[in-house]
Amino acid sequence: MKKAVRIMRVILTLALAAAVIGVLWQRLGPRLEALPDSAVKPKPLDPAFVRLTPRETATLPLATRFDMPLGSEDGAFTYNARPFRIERHLGDDLNGIGGENSDLGDPVYAAGAGRVVYAGNPGPGWGKMILIAHRLPEGDELGPVVQTMYAHLESFQVRAGQDVQRGDPIGTVGTADGAFLAHLHFEVRVGPYVNPGQGYADTALNRVAPEQFIRAHRGAAADLLNPAPQKD
């Protein structure tokens, strides 16, 4: 009985001490300010961390051949005003041979069979942009997936999630909402990351030279066509 009484006294003493400490903390402790809205509101997902899943990659249309996205399939009637890596440039600036705004509104074509994974306006200086993901044949040194990027567009003719074939019209040449003279900023990117990113950098990042890529991936016979989209 005496032992139980001693235990109860210890418990009561500890409880009283905790209550006293709590009261003192409330009176003398630092006041925490309310968190700003920026700390409690969810932030949009950084596009640098958006990537195609293995299943999405496996179901991409197979791209057996690539062509130039402006002019003819060989790029006739166009010229490269600013090639890849000149002045830190991460793509090619393709223009109509008339220069200035002579190619404004000209059709832009999908360089290869693939799926549109982004179609939007990512920010100032970009204008409308399209990203198309392509599944490369097994064994390709750049595989399994590359993406072609088409920027400074005036209009869209496709939407995100849409499958396209090589040579399909996807948009028209623009001026990045008036930031530049009309031209197509064209990139080839290696990997599954769906990120608008930047157009200039000190290193090549995950980009490869577009003209060299297309030259290396035109090995199919000229009369080989990619299969037509499957109808539901």
pLDDT tens-digit readout, 208-226: 999 999 999 986 555 555 5
Tens-digit pLDDT profile for residues 132-185: 999 999 999 998 999 999 999 999 999 999 999 999 999 999 999 999 999 999
Q: How many Cα atoms occupy the beta-carbon half-sphere of 187 within 13 Å?
A: 26
Domain extents for the chain? Answer: 48-216
Among 95, 65, 75, smallest CA distance to 219 is for: 65
* CA-atom Rg of the chain in angstroms: 29
Rounded-to-integer distance, Cα 155 and Cα 108, Å: 10
Return the higher-pLDDT residue of 124 and 220: 124
Question: Mean of the pLDDT values across residues 119-124?
Answer: 92
Which of 17-26, 74-83, 119-128, 179-188 bottoms out in mean pLDDT, i.e. has the lowest? 17-26
- HSE toward the beta carbon, residue 68, CA cutoff 13 A: 20
Confidence check: pLDDT of 25 > 90: no
Mean pLDDT of the chain: 86
48-216 topology per CATH: Glucose Permease (Domain IIA) (2.70.70)
Q: What is the pLDDT of residue 18?
A: 76
Residue 8, helix vs strand vs coil: helix
- 107 burial (CB, 10 Å; 0-12 / 13-18 / 19+) is middle
The conformation of residue 202, written as its DSSP 8-state character, comes to S
- Write the CB contacts of 136 (distance below 8 Å, at least 6 apart in sequence): 62, 63, 142, 143, 144, 145, 146, 217
Question: What is this structure's pTM?
Answer: 0.77
pLDDT at residue 232 above 50?
Answer: no
Tell me if 105 sits within 8 A of 173, measured CB to CB. yes
pLDDT classification of 204: cutoffs 50, 70, 90 = very high
Answer whether 106's CB lies under 8 Å from 125's CB: no
pLDDT given for residue 15 in this prediction: 77
Strand partners of residue 94: 80, 184
Confidence of residue 202 (pLDDT cuts 50, 70, 90): very high
Percent of the chain with pLDDT over 70: 81
pLDDT of residue 74: 85
